[in-house]
């Protein structure tokens, strides 16, 4: 929801762009569509506005105002805000100097949300001269700009030190919705998750003053790996007081450590319910010492002994905005006067969502004031000698350039939940889980069975066995056309047993590494003797971050030559199946939608020189190309297969031209094998998950 201050600022922009837009020559269709788009944008119907603006940009792609407002329709939607960047960039490219000075502000914010911190900082500096500093609004905007410039510097630092040992996962559509979910409360003993949402339901016939549905508390239970909402009244009664959701705001806060007390929020106050005689009592208002402020915030944490209460409130005596306060339970069962946690924890900006560890010695909370990446960041502080230490930023991936709040986490800091408005979510604010990173290994072996005359062997049976643990991964796989594909998610020793009629049985030993790999393997079957096929996988395709590719070799145990598959999609009349080993290769991973190879990479330059040398020695060079796309959808290319083919074609053209420029005749460059693939895990809306998708966005060039 936009604040009044922001709406006023946005209205000034709309006055400006409206005057300019109609001064240009436009068709009646454009004028009608523009009017519809602006009405939708002004009414915050962003999805509908996006469709209208995309139509306008298609009609007139160089119109700076169409592109600017199209960018706003994505940026203001609080979901997939990074999609605003191409429109803002197009507006900047096609606008005259100072035509839309606010453009730099929104572009800077969009860059920041997309973790493009250097670009964000540059755009903020270009925006600053246009601010009218002689007004209160101008001075506030200057302070805001400086604030985000500081955040870009912090963002770069935390991006470098990203924590790779934990994995953050969106809880999905069963929990999250377009309306926003937050304040998770977890009961590990029951595998129950309470959370707050502002989604539409039959309980609310009216909207809140911000035109969104009122808050309600929801309960979900995890079965295997899936969260399911509980709707049965009897089941809900086990976890919540009866009729807890009213026609106004109701928010879950936290359970006591023994699960027998629940704190909730309604009517700007904090309430308590006790579990007695197998039922939850009616809500009781906490003491005025806690609820003395007119504006309490639904953020509470209680110590495991139930004697210390931390909560968030906005009070006159505070250090600024929302602060965290502490109250203690007296001997008479009353809560003491609340005290501010002080300047070590609270800042002149807002603090949110305190959470105490089980031993009460670690405080987790969110803040806009401490050194962070942007918006709310999650911090932790240790209680030493009765004093809270300087807060430490929890870093990426828990924190992002957006708001990250309501962290609840176990004592090992490995498992927990929190809420975030980061890009790529389902709604403006989603609930995410935290868990240790699972080491995912995926070995792909592309195999070929041939006889001593290099002819394909068909109708063979394969058993693929992992030695540790001793189990059959693939049993009695029938080989068609001589080729086969095997997959293992285990490291260590493996065996491929091959049986074919009229051939001696073969057993091939493989040692697969700890990291994912892809390899080509040719097995030669003999009627008279068994060749030495005891092989070892020597190198890997991707490093542990899944960002770079290195050479992949499967070599005979007693030889130095490589055994590799000669198998192609696009037949070449000059193809030779007896080419010997590869003499060099180049591997590169791509970012999403990218296809431009790095021709200045030392390994690529070395491969070009080796190819020239091959021509000098042998009169020809044989080249294999393999390109791959992940399953992340691409509008730019229409389909993932098109993107993979574009990467293949781009690489072929560039590589061949490079050799020609080196003096190699085109007829001496033989394209022997080409593959364009679409691979990897199913896309679930998490396009920013580089670790998941980047290993499948690659190019491999090999020469013989």
155 burial (CB, 10 Å; 0-12 / 13-18 / 19+) is: buried
Q: Is the pLDDT of residue 110 over 90?
A: yes
477, 403: one domain:
no
Kindly report whether the peptide bond that precedes residue 192 is cis, defined as omega within 30 degrees of 0. no
409, 455: one domain:
no
Which conformational region is residue 683 in: left (phi greater than 0), alpha (psi within -120 to 50 degrees), or beta? beta
79, 177: one domain:
no
Instruction: Indicate the range of 15-24, 114-123, 564-573 predicted with least confidence.
Output: 564-573
CATH number of residue 521's parent domain? 2.60.40.10
What domain range is 251 assigned to? 166-436
583, 695: one domain:
yes
Q: Looking at the DSSP assignment, which residues form a beta bridge with residue 266?
A: 250, 269
125, 193: one domain:
no
Distance between CA atoms of residues 659 and 663, nearest Å: 7
Say if CB 340 and CB 317 are below 8 A apart.
yes
511, 533: one domain:
yes
Q: Is the pLDDT of residue 10 over 80?
A: no
Q: Is the pLDDT of residue 556 over 50?
A: no
337, 414: one domain:
yes
Q: Is the pLDDT of residue 362 over 90?
A: yes
pLDDT in the model for residue 687: 67
Better pLDDT: 189 or 94: 94
CA nearest to 592, candidates 633, 638, 560, 551: 633
107 burial (CB, 10 Å; 0-12 / 13-18 / 19+) is: buried
Q: Could you tell me what percent of the chain has a pLDDT over 90? A: 33
13, 111: one domain:
yes
**Would you give the distance in Å from CA 648 to the centre of its chain?**
27
pLDDT, tens digit, for every residue of 198-225?
888 767 678 877 777 888 889 999 887 7
What residues have CB less than 8 Å from 674, skipping those under 6 apart? 568, 569, 570, 624, 625, 626, 648, 652
Give φ, ψ of 453 to 5 degrees: -95, 15
| Number of domains within the chain | 4
519, 532: one domain:
yes
Integer-rounded Cα radius of gyration of the chain:
31
Structure tokens at 675: 């593959």
Note the pTM of the prediction, 2 decimals: 0.62
Q: DSSP letters along 373-432, please?
A: SSSSEEEEEEEETTEEPPPEE--TTT--SS-EEEEEE-TTSSSEEEEE--TT-SSSSEEE
**Domain limit, last residue, from 110, 125, 160:** 160
95, 45: one domain:
yes
CA nearest to 522, candidates 531, 513, 469: 531
pLDDT-based confidence at residue 529 (cuts at 50, 70, 90) = very low
430, 443: one domain:
no
Q: Is the pLDDT of residue 264 over 90?
A: no
Q: Average of pLDDT values for 408-415?
A: 85
Q: DSSP letters along 352-375, please?
A: EEEEE-TTS-EEEEEESSSS-SSS
Q: Looking at the DSSP assignment, which residues form a beta bridge with residue 409?
A: 416
Structure tokens at 333: 């069962």
Q: Average of pLDDT values for 252-278?
A: 84
Distance between CA atoms of residues 692 and 385, nearest Å: 44
Distance between CA atoms of residues 114 and 123, nearest Å: 14
């Amino acid at each position: 929801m936009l604040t009044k201050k922001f709406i006023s600022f946005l209205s000034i922009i709309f006055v400006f762009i409206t005057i300019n837009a109609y001064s240009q020559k436009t068709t009646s269709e454009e004028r009608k569509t523009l009017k519809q788009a602006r009405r939708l944008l002004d009414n915050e119907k962003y999805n509908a506005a996006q469709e209208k603006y995309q139509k306008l940009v298609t009609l007139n792609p160089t119109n700076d105002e169409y592109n600017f407002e199209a960018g706003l329709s994505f940026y203001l939607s609080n979901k997939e805000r990074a999609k605003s960047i191409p429109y803002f960039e197009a507006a900047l490219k096609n606008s005259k100097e100072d035509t839309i000075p606010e453009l730099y502000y929104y572009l800077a914010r969009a860059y920041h949300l997309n973790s493009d911190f250097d670009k964000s900082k540059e755009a903020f500096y270009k925006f600053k001269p246009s601010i009218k500093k002689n007004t209160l609004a101008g001075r506030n905007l200057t302070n805001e700009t400086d604030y985000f410039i500081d955040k870009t510097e912090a963002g770069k630092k935390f991006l470098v030190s990203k924590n790779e040992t934990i994995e953050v996962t969106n809880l999905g559509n069963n929990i999250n919705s377009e309306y926003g979910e937050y304040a998770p409360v977890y009961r590990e003993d029951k595998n129950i998750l309470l959370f707050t949402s502002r989604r539409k339901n039959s309980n609310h016939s009216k909207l809140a003053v911000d035109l969104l549905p009122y808050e309600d508390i929801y309960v979900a239970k995890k079965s295997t790996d899936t969260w399911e909402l509980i709707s049965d009244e009897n089941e809900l009664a086990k976890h919540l007081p009866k009729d807890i959701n009213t026609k106004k705001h109701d928010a879950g806060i936290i359970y006591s450590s023994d699960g027998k007390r629940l704190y909730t929020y309604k009517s700007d106050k904090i309430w308590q319910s006790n579990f007695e005689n197998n039922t939850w009592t009616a809500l009781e208002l906490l003491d005025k010492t806690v609820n003395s402020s007119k504006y309490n915030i639904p953020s509470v944490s209680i110590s495991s002994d139930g004697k210390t209460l931390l909560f968030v409130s906005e009070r006159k005596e505070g250090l600024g905005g929302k602060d965290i306060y502490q109250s203690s339970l007296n001997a008479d069962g009353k809560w003491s006067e609340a005290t501010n946690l002080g300047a070590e924890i609270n800042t002149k900006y807002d603090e949110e969502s305190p959470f105490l560890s089980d031993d009460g010695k670690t405080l987790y909370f969110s803040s806009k004031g401490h050194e962070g990446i942007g918006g709310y960041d999650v911090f932790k502080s240790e209680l030493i000698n009765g004093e809270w230490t300087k807060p430490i930023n929890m870093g990426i991936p828990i924190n992002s350039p957006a708001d990250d709040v309501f962290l609840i986490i176990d004592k090992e800091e490995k498992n927990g939940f929190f809420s975030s408005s980061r890009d790529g979510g389902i709604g403006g604010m989603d609930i995410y889980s935290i868990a240790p990173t699972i080491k995912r290994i995926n070995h792909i072996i592309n195999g070929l069975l041939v006889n001593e005359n290099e002819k394909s062997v068909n109708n063979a049976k394969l058993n693929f066995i992992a030695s540790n643990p001793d189990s059959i991964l693939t049993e009695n796989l029938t080989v068609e056309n001589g080729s086969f594909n095997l997959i293992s998610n285990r490291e260590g020793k493996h065996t491929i047993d091959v049986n074919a009629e009229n051939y001696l049985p073969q057993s091939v030993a493989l040692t697969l590494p700890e990291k994912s790999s892809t390899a080509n393997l040719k097995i030669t079957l003999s009627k008279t003797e068994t060749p030495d096929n005891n092989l070892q996988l020597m190198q890997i395709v991707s490093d542990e971050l899944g960002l770079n590719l290195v050479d992949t070799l499967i070599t005979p145990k007693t030889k130095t030559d490589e055994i590799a598959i000669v198998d192609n999609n696009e037949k070449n009349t000059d193809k030779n199946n007896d080419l010997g080993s590869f003499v060099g290769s180049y591997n590169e991973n791509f970012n999403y939608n990218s296809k431009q190879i790095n021709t200045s990479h030392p390994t690529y330059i070395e491969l070009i020189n080796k190819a020239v040398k091959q021509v000098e020695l042998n009169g020809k060079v044989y080249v294999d190309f393999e390109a791959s796309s992940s399953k992340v959808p691409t509008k730019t290319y229409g389909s993932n297969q098109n993107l993979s083919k574009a990467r293949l074609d781009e690489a072929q053209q560039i590589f061949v031209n490079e050799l020609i420029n080196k003096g190699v005749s085109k007829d001496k460059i033989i394209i022997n094998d080409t593959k364009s693939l679409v691979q990897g895990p199913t896309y679930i809306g998490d396009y920013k998950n580089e670790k998941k998708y980047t290993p499948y966005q690659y190019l491999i060039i090999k020469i013989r």
